[in-house]
Chains A and B, each alone.
Chain A
Amino acid sequence: MTKADRAEDDDVLYGGTWLTVRAMQRSNGQLPALSWYRALDGRELGAFRAAATNVENSWRARRPGIVRTARIPRSSQGLTQLRVTLPAAKPPHLRAMFLRDEQVMWLTHGFSTQKKILDLAEIELGDSIAADWLQQRSAS
């Protein structure tokens, strides 16, 4: 188990029967996804858990055509976005970015946006968190 993989209870944001969602930790100790998660209100938290369960069911059953997730072509780290609120829901849209490692979804960070198209700044932030995290993993 690498340093970044170290099981800290605090970095688990969702524990399903098959899928776990965890927050990536930066080298400075920050967990941006965890900070975002802790700031969610009751409805947003319910939506986040529902989105994670939908993805869990899709991945486990190999159900194609997943709507809750979408590859981010502009991401240099190969990030995928998680649509916490469904695409056609009224704004603000809740989104998060992640890398998948088998049955673990590693979140870089989450955010709220009024637009359906992802901001380049959010993609760059996600890429920087993922790059930092991947570097820690490969170093240890």
Chain B
Amino acid sequence: MRPTGEDVRTRRTYEEELLVGEVVETVSGLLESSQVQRKELASRLGVSPGRVSQMLSGSDNLTLRSLAAVGLALGVRFELHPVAIRDRAGTPAEHDPPAPDWLARLKRTATFQFRPLSRKPAQWRAPVRTFKPCENHEPAA
């Protein structure tokens, strides 16, 4: 049976509201757990407290860049884990092939480990390199 417009609207609203809600709830939870005030978050982000309130109330769509910045300011990374929708009936993708296997492998995404650049270990010394003349060549005159 072909999905009705009502079904599609319901599914689409569900996905939109769920994602926005998860972001709002998670950032709100992080602020509470880390005891960071909104004012402090605004300062860390370099934006006004009003802008932070907008972000956290769900009134404004947070861009992915803003979300990454909020995450960094609170010491977390928001990763993207697309999950195949089991029941596609009522979605525009209902007749598409099944979701690809590699989606599941994205649950473990690669990350780059940042290390301090300016500090060197106390015992650190520049490696000493020795060069031997290559035997297959005539020494330079």
Contacts and interface: CB of A to CB of B under 8 A. Distances in A.
Interface of A: 41-43, 45-47, 49-51, 53-54, 57-58, 63-68, 86-89
A117 to B, nearest CB: 16
Given A65-B25, A87-B58, A89-B58, A54 B10 contact: no
Closest 3 CB pairs of A and B: A46-B13, A88-B59, A86-B58
Nearest to B60: A88
Contacts of B6: 41-42
A47 B32 CA distance: 25
B25 A63 contact: yes
Interface string B1-17: 00001111111111111
Interface of B: 5-18, 20-22, 24-26, 28-33, 54, 56-60
Given A51-B17, A86-B59, A89-B59, A46 B28 contact: no
A68 B23 CA distance: 12
A80 to B, nearest CB: 15
Contacts of B17: 46-47, 50-51, 86
Contacts of A87: 57-58
Contact of B28 (A42, A45, A67): A67
